[in-house]
């Protein structure tokens, strides 16, 4: 065991291990509820995110020396599934703060560099965030490449239709001036 943290109600604990994993335990019986696996480096700490059913684990380096990159994971405490992965950080995370109300995660690394991450709280927020980040829909070839059905989702079809309408409206404005 490396470090342990207990949730705000004292019912569960997260225990980090230096073998790239962590465990969520029943705080009273010690029974393992979920094994959290998937970190490429040593998991040095974990904490429950107040006001949510999530736990955050993060990587660092131990006696073996530094790694090429570091990351953090957010896990669903009821299923044990990773629901957010932040990888490729240049230095080990030394501290985190969480704002459940705003869905913001603040990380500070070993060099004092602070990063702010916006994390969606619901499936709809995730979809909206991805739509902001991805300015276009995937082509049929891209959909095949990623083993997706060839027919795009309805939001993508409506986005294309709106783009066509906007293009036609701009075309009309250009012709009349």
Q: Closest by alpha carbon to 159, among 123, 134, 142, 126?
A: 134
What is the per-residue pLDDT for 4? 86
Place of tokens 């230096």: 18
For residues 112 and 106, the answer to whether their CB atoms sit within 8 Å is no
* 141 and 84 fall within a common domain: no
- Verify that 175 and 99 share a domain, yes or no: no
Pair 53, 118 in one domain: yes
92 with 122, same domain? yes
Claim: this prediction has a pTM higher than 0.75: no
Encode pLDDT of 132-157 as tens digits. 766 567 888 888 888 888 888 777 77
Cα dihedral 157/159/162/163 (nearest 10)? -110
Q: What is the mean pLDDT of the chain?
A: 79
Q: Do 24 and 101 have their domain in common?
A: yes
Residue that wins the pLDDT comparison between 61 and 23: 23
Q: Do both 129 and 141 map to the same domain?
A: no
Same domain (yes/no): 31, 113: yes
pLDDT surpasses 90 at 96: no
Q: Report the side by side order of strands in the sheet with 104-109.
A: 93-99, 104-109, 114-118
Q: Residues 89-112: what's their mean pLDDT?
A: 82
126 phi and psi, to 5 degrees? -65, -45
Q: What digits encode the pLDDT tens for the residues 48-72?
A: 988 778 898 888 765 556 666 678 8
For position 176, what pLDDT does the model report? 47
Is there a single domain that holds both residue 67 and residue 112? yes
What pLDDT was estimated at residue 49? 86
What is the pLDDT, as a whole number, of residue 120? Answer: 73
The answer to whether residues 64 and 99 belong to one domain is: yes
Looking up tokens 């599934």 gives: 81
pLDDT attached to residue 169: 64
**Structural domain for 148, as ranges:** 136-177
- Asked if residue 122 lies in contact with residue 102, where contact means CB atoms within 8 angstroms, the answer is no
State whether residue 45 is helix, strand or coil.
strand
Cα(158)–Cα(163) distance, integer angstroms: 9
Phi-psi domain of 176 (left: phi exceeds 0; alpha: psi -120 through 50; beta: other):
alpha
Quick one: 102 and 66 in the same domain? yes
Q: Is the pLDDT of residue 28 over 60?
A: yes
pLDDT at 165 over 80: no
Distance CA 46, CA 72 (A): 9
Residue 105 pLDDT greater than 80, yes or no: yes
Regarding whether 63 and 27 lie in a shared domain, the answer is yes
* Mean per-residue pLDDT, 1-8: 81
Residue 29 has pLDDT above 90, yes or no: yes
Q: What is the CATH number of the domain that holds 66?
A: 2.130.10.10
* Whether residue 147 sits in one domain with residue 66: no
If one counts the domains in the chain, the total is 2
């Amino acid at each position: 065991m490396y470090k342990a943290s207990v949730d705000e109600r004292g019912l569960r604990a997260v225990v980090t291990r230096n073998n790239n994993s962590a465990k969520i335990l029943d705080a009273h019986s010690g029974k393992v509820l979920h094994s959290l696996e998937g970190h490429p480096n040593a998991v040095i700490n974990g904490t429950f995110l107040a006001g949510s059913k999530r736990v955050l684990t993060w990587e660092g380096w131990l006696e073996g020396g530094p790694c090429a990159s570091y990351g953090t994971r957010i896990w669903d405490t009821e299923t044990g599934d990773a629901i957010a992965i932040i990888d490729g950080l240049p230095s080990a995370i030394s501290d985190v703060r969480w704002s459940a109300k705003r869905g913001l995660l603040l990380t500070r690394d070993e060099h004092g560099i602070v990063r702010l991450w916006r994390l969606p709280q619901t499936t709809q927020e995730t979809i909206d965030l991805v739509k902001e980040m991805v300015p276009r829909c995937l082509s049929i070839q891209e959909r095949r490449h990623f083993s997706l059905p060839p027919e795009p989702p309805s939001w993508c079809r409506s986005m294309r239709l709106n783009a066509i309408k906007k293009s036609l409206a701009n075309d009309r404005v250009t012709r009349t001036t």
